[in-house]
C-alpha cells in the first residue's frame, strides 16, 4: 500500500515554510512517520536550507530527504513561480511517502570535475543497487558543469536501461538538497522500485508540414531535406499554417527528429524536439541543437501557448489510458521554467489541466533549467518540456 501527501508553504523564514509544508504533507500520509520526502524550494531558501531540511525530518520522521531548488514550485493545489513575490520569502513544496510496496534509494554525487559520464556512473550504480535495474531513476543535477548526454550515458552504463526522469536545478541561487544539507555543483536524486510508473512527456509542440528524410547534412547541420534546401522545406511548412505570416511572428519553430522512422503514421510523441539555432540564407542550411544523420526523418514543429496546451492535454490523455482505471497514488512533475505564466499568460495552467484530466492526487514539482525523460524508449535531455511521473495505487501492466 502507498500512503502519500503533499504540502506547500511560503514564509520569510525558510524553516517555518519547510515545517508548515512538511506537516501538511505528513497529514496526508496519515502515519507516525514517512519513509522519504521530496523537497523543492525557491532560491530564497538557500541561507536557511539546513534548518529547513531538519524541520522536514522532524515533522515527517523521514530519514531520506532529497530535492533541489527551482524557479518555482508546485503541488496539486497550484503553481508558485518566483519573481515579484520574492519579498514574501521562500516557497517550499514537500511530498511525503510511506509504503511497503515502493522502495526509494536516494543518492548524492558531489562531483568536483563536472556532471558528466563519471557522475552518471556513480548515480547509476547507486540506482542499480537499490532497484536491481528494474526501477526508475530521478536525477536532479546542478546546471554548472552539466553534460546531459554524458550524464545519461554514465547512468545507463552503470544502472542499465532504466527510464531516467528529472529536472535541472534553477532559481537564484540554485542548489541541491540531500538529507540535511544543501550543495551547489552537485547531482542529487533517487531511484524508485516496486511499482511501475506511468510517464507522460509533453514537449509543448505540434507538427507542421510533412515528415521528410534528411538527404544531406553532417554533425548538427541539415543541408537538404528530400533533395531540397532545408530552409525551403521549412518555409513550405510555415506556409501551411492557418493565419499565414501573421502567425509566424507569434510562434517558435523547432525541428522534430523521428525516434522510430519506420513507424507510420508519425504522430505527436514520436519525435525528439530540438531547437533551431542557426540558418544560412545563402545555402539554405539550418542548424539544430542536436546531432543529425542522413536518412533520418524530420518534421518541423511549432510552439506557442495553444500548441503547448493541446500537447499537454494529449499527453495526459495517454497517461489516463495507461493508468487503465487505476488511481494515481502520487506523482512528480518537472516543468520547464520557459513554460508557466510566461507562456500561457495564466497561473496554474499545467496543474489545473493535470487535476482536470487525472483528478486530485499528491503531486510535487518544480520549474527547472531543463528536463530528463524517455521518448521512444530512449532517455533524452529536453527543454521547454513538462514531464509527469505518476505512480498508480495498484500495480499492473501499463
The pTM of this model reads 0.94
Q: Are 133 and 162 in contact (CB under 8 A)?
A: yes
Q: What does the pLDDT read at residue 258?
A: 93
Q: What does the pLDDT read at residue 282?
A: 93
The tally of CA atoms less than 13 A away on the side-chain side of residue 94 is: 38
Q: What does the pLDDT read at residue 398?
A: 40
Q: What does the pLDDT read at residue 243?
A: 64
Q: What does the pLDDT read at residue 240?
A: 80
Query: What span, in angstroms and rounded, lies between the C-alpha atoms of 147 and 363?
Result: 28
Q: What does the pLDDT read at residue 394?
A: 85
Q: What is the mean pLDDT of each run of 10 residues along the chain (398 residues)?
A: 96 97 98 97 97 98 97 97 71 97 94 86 95 95 95 96 97 96 96 95 91 96 97 90 64 90 82 93 95 95 91 96 96 96 94 97 98 94 96 76
Q: What does the pLDDT read at residue 85?
A: 47
Q: Residue 394: CB partners within 8 Å, gap ≥ 6?
A: 326
Query: What span, in angstroms and rounded, lies between the C-alpha atoms of 61 and 294?
Result: 55
Q: What does the pLDDT read at residue 19?
A: 98
Amino acid at each position: 500500500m502507498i500512503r502519500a501527501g503533499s504540502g506547500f508553504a511560503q514564509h520569510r523564514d525558510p524553516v517555518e515554510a519547510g515545517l508548515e509544508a512538511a506537516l501538511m504533507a505528513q497529514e496526508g500520509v496519515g502515519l507516525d512517520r514517512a519513509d522519504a520526502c521530496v523537497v523543492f524550494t525557491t532560491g530564497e531558501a538557500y541561507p536557511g536550507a539546513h534548518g529547513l531540511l531538519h524541520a522536514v525530518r522532524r515533522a515527517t520522521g523521514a530519514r531520506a530527504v532529497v530535492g533541489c531548488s527551482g524557479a518555482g514550485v508546485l503541488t496539486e493545489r497550484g503553481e508558485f513561480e518566483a519573481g515579484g513575490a520574492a519579498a514574501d520569502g521562500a516557497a517550499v513544496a514537500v511530498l511525503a511517502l510511506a509504503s511497503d510496496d515502493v522502495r526509494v534509494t536516494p543518492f548524492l554525487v558531489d562531483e568536483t570535475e563536472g556532471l558528466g559520464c563519471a557522475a552518471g556512473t556513480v548515480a547509476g550504480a547507486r540506482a542499480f543497487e537499490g532497484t536491481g535495474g528494474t526501477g526508475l531513476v530521478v536525477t536532479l543535477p546542478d546546471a554548472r558543469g552539466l553534460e546531459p548526454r554524458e550524464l545519461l550515458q554514465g547512468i545507463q552504463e552503470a544502472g542499465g536501461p532504466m527510464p531516467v526522469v528529472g529536472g535541472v536545478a534553477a532559481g537564484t541561487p540554485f542548489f541541491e538538497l540531500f538529507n540535511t544539507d544543501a550543495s551547489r555543483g552537485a547531482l542529487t536524486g533517487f531511484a524508485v522500485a516496486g511499482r511501475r510508473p506511468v510517464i507522460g512527456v509533453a514537449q509543448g509542440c505540434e507538427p507542421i508540414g510533412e515528415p521528410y528524410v534528411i538527404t544531406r547534412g553532417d554533425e548538427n547541420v541539415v543541408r537538404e531535406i528530400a533533395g531540397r534546401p532545408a530552409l525551403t522545406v521549412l518555409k513550405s511548412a510555415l506556409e501551411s499554417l492557418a493565419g499565414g505570416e501573421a502567425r509566424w511572428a507569434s510562434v517558435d519553430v523547432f525541428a522534430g527528429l523521428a525516434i522510430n522512422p519506420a513507424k507510420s503514421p508519425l504522430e505527436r510523441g514520436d519525435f525528439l524536439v530540438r531547437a533551431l539555432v542557426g540558418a544560412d540564407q545563402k545555402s539554405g542550411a539550418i542548424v539544430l541543437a542536436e546531432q543529425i544523420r542522413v536518412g533520418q526523418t524530420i518534421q518541423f514543429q511549432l510552439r506557442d501557448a495553444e500548441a503547448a496546451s493541446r500537447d499537454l492535454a494529449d499527453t495526459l490523455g495517454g497517461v489516463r489510458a495507461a493508468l487503465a482505471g487505476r488511481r494515481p497514488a502520487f506523482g512528480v512533475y518537472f516543468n520547464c521554467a520557459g513554460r508557466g505564466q510566461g507562456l500561457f499568460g495564466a497561473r496554474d495552467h499545467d496543474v489545473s489541466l493535470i487535476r482536470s484530466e487525472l483528478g486530485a492526487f499528491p503531486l510535487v514539482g518544480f520549474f527547472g533549467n531543463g528536463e530528463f525523460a524517455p521518448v521512444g524508449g530512449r532517455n533524452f535531455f529536453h527543454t521547454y518540456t513538462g514531464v509527469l511521473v505518476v505512480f498508480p495505487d495498484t500495480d499492473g501492466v501499463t
